[in-house]
Amino acid sequence: MEERFGPWQLRRRVHVGEYADVTEGTHASRGGEAIAVKRLHLHTARDPGLRALFARECALACGLAPHPAVIRGLDAGEVEGRPWLAMPLVRGEDLRALVGRAAPPDAARLGAGVCDALAHLHGAGWIHGDCTPANILVSADGVVLCDLGVARPPDEPGPVRGTHAYMAPEQVRGEPWTPATDLWALGVVVWELAAGARLFLRDQPWLTMAAVVDDEVPALSDPALDAVVAPLLRKDPAARPASATEVSAAFAALC
């Protein structure tokens, strides 16, 4: 595809989501460097609530201190009623492609990288709220945690948001988020990488959320990896590890 979008020349669609798409593009002022441009869909751009959520994402992405494992915003604006956010283009694949192919040391290495990203976000006063394989990109330089679209400060009240199969029990119940909420999602991601199967996904969203709250988690076949992952998947957030930094060290010891 080739499309002119304000100052951007858009060339290749990278991702299409429910509310927005991400397209590779260039800008004359950047000397032809490839950039990822995220735009709300035309219909979602007319929704005041989604526009406000996207504006918050843009402000967070552009204002967050740089970190190699967290996507950052380069610029933001609006063209003909469609808000956009420009980000570095990460060349790689998301973790969905690695489910079932990651040996325990690789799953631990990827888990440690995501922990570093979460520690940076948590240190800045934000909970990601949607840490899923689709939002974790793997490049030659490591992992990059993307999509800050539902991020919120700890304990801030708000609607139930996130991806059903990766929501923590407290998230499903509409309770405030804490760093432990993201650590749960990370536990689900690493469990699936190592087991090669979806942990909580069911045929209907309500069944998936019921499984998150009620179902026990099978142990992984690798005892050392399971010893790190199982505490992340405790139903009570107060019983999970204290910080992403602590979990990163535990994963790193397995690499």
152 within 8 A of 185, measured Cβ to Cβ: no
Q: In what order do the strands lie in the sheet with 93-94?
A: 93-94, 136-139, 142-145
Encode burial over 9-42: b for 16+ CB neighbours within 10 A, e otherwise: bbeeeebeeeebebbbbbbeeeeeeebbbbbbbe
Helix (H, G, I), strand (E, B) or coil at 53: helix
> Strand pairing of 35-40 and 75-79?
unpaired
Calpha distance 100→30 (Å, rounded): 39
**With contact defined as beta carbons under 8 Å apart, do 127 and 237 qualify?**
no
3-state helix, strand, coil in the chain (%, to 5): 40, 20, 40
Cβ proximity of 76 and 58 under 8 Å: yes
Tokens representing 74 are 């380069």
Q: Which residue has the tokens 């999509």?
A: 147
* Catalytic residue IDs: 130
User: By CB neighbour count within 10 A (0-12 exposed, 13-18 middle, 19+ buried), where does 129 fall?
Assistant: buried
